[in-house]
Amino acid sequence: MSTIQLRTSIPGPRSQALMRRRNAAVPKAAYHATPVFVARAEGAVVEDVDGNRLIDFAGGIGCLNVGHRAPSVVEAVRRQLDRFLHTSFNVLAYESYVRLAERLNALTPGSFAKKTLFVNSGAEAVENAIKIARFYTRRPAIISFEDAFHGRTYMTMAVTSKTHPYKAGFEPFPGDVYRIPYAYCFRCSYSLEYPGCEVHCARHIEDTFKRVVSAESVAAVIVEPILGEGGFVTPPAEFYSILSEICHRHGILLIADEVQTGFCRAGATFACERFGLVPDLITMAKSLSGGLPLAAITGRAEIMDGPASGQLGGTFGGNPVACEAALAVLDLIESENLNARANHLGEMFRKRAAEWQRRWELVGDVRGLGAMQALELVHSRATREPADTETKEVAQFCYEHGLVTITAGSYGNVIRLLMPIVISDAQMDEALDVLEAALGAVAEKAVSCQPSVVST
């Protein structure tokens, strides 16, 4: 049976009936990439309530690097379910919280003393990192980047860039947040070309200190080592050495938001490692705990110890079931050598994508590190006009042929890969066959729709 078959049964009757109930009971703002309800999932494959099998290239938006229901994670969760579910670390402590903090302190970049705080979501991790940075430095301002995404709470919306759908209508946002261009070489804000540009974007922050906000007012620069929602934009190697030297010189903390990039996605346990970046604070969530809600802030001990007892925390932060799951995830990363696996998957994708780029003008940019790979689609490579409608069509074709993908980018024209890193080579090939067929169908339709030139 050909794998590239139209699934006429999607969404099936059960998914459709559930969607009607969902529409009546749940606000429309909680969006769906597909109209499908899931029944079960294993590894890189999801089965919906109508029995359709789908390969998962979304991984619960990057939360499932170790795969759906990784057996050792499920086992660790089961063991904890039989002991206790919740006490609040703020009331009755438990060892798994401390052990996980010790492991993250040792695992994150930097050989200095570190401490870790656990919270519930990526946004909450970013909120706390900013609280800690402001408290420690006694400075108010935060610098973030164009095309960044850091969450949906008020402070995280303030440091997020993309207006629709994340920010529009929710104004006003907390103040003292300043935004500078990211190292987005495919769409350079300064119209420069790498490497001739000498990574001007990293140095430009010195100008920001003169014209926008004084360096001595800035508590922290927050940056995703590789943009997530912003389209998997991957800075040149020198970007972070320049940026961190400037921050260090001005006493500004560097916060690396590894919520999406962390836990092997980029072919290293933390994407920072791919750039030799040693941040002062790191935020983590998503794949940390193999599918349970858990987030962390790890940082230099003296910075993390700035706020006094009771100034940080929350009822559920560092839930014991989620901590046990995360400890099992960290074991799996080592025992399965998931970083090597991520790099292998990245190579599989890059080989195919190079061919797609040769064949179709639509494929404007292929980029990423490890298994954090993406395609940016354009109408023409000369103009780089974003092909957002075509990107939606590619995602739709994929879903209708058994592959769940999600899009990204400020212009909505990026297809990003967030498959479980435990996906088999055969499943990866099957998924890439579907993606190739989708790109071919959309690219060829785009060409056939172009008006033919008529000479008069």
Ligand X SMILES: Cc1ncc(COP(=O)(O)O)c(C=O)c1O
DSSP letter string, 44-110: TEEEETTS-EEEESSHHHHT-TT-BT-HHHHHHHHHHHTT-S---TTTS--HHHHHHHHHHHHHSS-
Closer to ligand X by CB, 15 or 319: give it. Answer: 319
Contact 182, 233 (CB under 8 A): yes
> What single-letter amino acid sits at 449?
C
For residue 447, the minimal CB distance to ligand X (Å) is: 34
| Binding segment toward ligand X, per CB under 6 A, in 110-118, 146-154, 427-435, 443-451 | 146-154
Instruction: Please select the residue that binds ligand X; options are 37, 97, 118, 149, rule is CB under 6 A.
Output: 149
Q: Between the CA of residue 423 and those of 300, 346, 417, what are the distances in Å? A: 35, 12, 12
| 298 secondary structure, DSSP code | E
Query: Could you tell me how many residues of this chain bind ligand X (CB under 6 A)?
Result: 15
Site for ligand X in 33-62 (CB under 6 A): 61
Q: Give me the least distance between CB of 222 and ligand X, in Å please.
A: 9
Q: Which listed residue (44, 101, 104, 123) binds ligand X by CB under 6 A?
A: 123
Residue 257 interacts with ligand X (CB under 6 A): yes or no: yes
Is the link from the previous residue into 165 a cis peptide, with omega within 30 of 0? Answer: yes
121 binds ligand X (CB under 6 A): yes
Task: Kindly state the DSSP code that residue 14 receives in the 8-state scheme.
Answer: H
CA distances from 2 to 7, 336, 401 (A): 12, 31, 11
Contact pick of 11, 59, 109, 151 for ligand X (by CB under 6 A): 151
Which member of 67, 109, 122, 420 binds ligand X (CB under 6 A)?
Answer: 122
DSSP count for the chain of H helices, then E strands: 15, 15
Q: CB-based contacts of 148: which residues, under 8 Å, 6+ apart?
A: 159, 160, 161, 179, 182, 222, 223, 224, 227, 230, 257
- Smallest distance from the beta carbon of 50 to ligand X, in angstroms? 28
Segment 205 to 244, residues that bind ligand X, using CB under 6 A: 224, 228-229
In the complex, the smallest distance separating the C-beta of residue 297 from ligand X, rounded to whole angstroms, is: 12
Rounded to the nearest 10 degrees, the angle between the axes of helix 425-449 and helix 388-400 is 130
Q: How far is the CB of 278 from ligand X (least distance, A)?
A: 19
CB of 214 to ligand X, least distance (A): 27
Nearest distance from C-beta of residue 314 to ligand X, angstroms: 13
Interactions with ligand X, residue window 277-336 (CB under 6 A): 285
> Which C-beta is closer to ligand X: that of 260 or that of 427?
260
Q: What residues contact 54, with CB distance under 8 A and at least 6 apart? A: 36, 45, 46, 47, 48, 399, 402, 403, 404
411 near ligand X (CB under 6 A): no
Decide: is 150 part of the binding site for ligand X (CB under 6 A).
yes
How do beta strands 403-404 and 53-56 pair?
parallel
Question: What CA–CA distances, in Å, run from 13 to 21, 40, 48, 83, 325?
Answer: 13, 17, 11, 40, 34
Give the binding range for ligand X (CB under 6 A) out of 122-130, 184-192, 359-367, 398-406. 122-130
Q: What minimum distance in Å lies between the beta carbon of 6 and ligand X?
A: 31
**Contacting ligand X within 336-365 (CB under 6 A):** none
Q: What is the nearest approach in angstroms of ligand X to the Cβ of residue 437?
A: 28
Question: What is the Cα–Cα distance from 383 to 113, expressed in whole angstroms?
Answer: 49
Q: Least separation, in Å, of the C-beta of 235 and ligand X?
A: 14
Place of tokens 């969450």: 151
260 counts as binding ligand X under rule CB under 6 A:
yes
* Nearer residue to ligand X within complex by CB, 37 or 232: 232
Taking CB under 6 A as the criterion, the residue among 126, 132, 417, 421 binding ligand X is 126
Q: Which is nearer to ligand X, 126 or 434 (CB)?
A: 126
- Tell which one of 129, 242, 259, 297 touches ligand X (CB under 6 A): 259
Separation between Cα atoms, residue 12 and residue 194, nearest integer Å: 48
Span from 50-58, 143-151, 162-170, 174-182 in contact with ligand X (CB under 6 A)? 143-151
Least distance from ligand X to the Cβ atom of residue 385, Å: 26
Tokens of 63: 């939360």
Residue among 61 and 292 whose Cβ is closer to ligand X: 61
Nearest to 284, CA basis, from 390, 80, 125: 125
Which of 37-41's residues contact partners 24+ apart within 8 Å by CB, and which partners? 41/68, 41/69
Q: Which residue is nearest to ligand X (CB)?
A: 122
Distance, in Å, from the CA atom of 414 to the CA atom of 20, rounded to the nearest integer, reads 30
Q: Which residues bind ligand X (CB under 6 A)?
A: 61, 121-123, 126, 149-151, 224, 228-229, 257, 259-260, 285
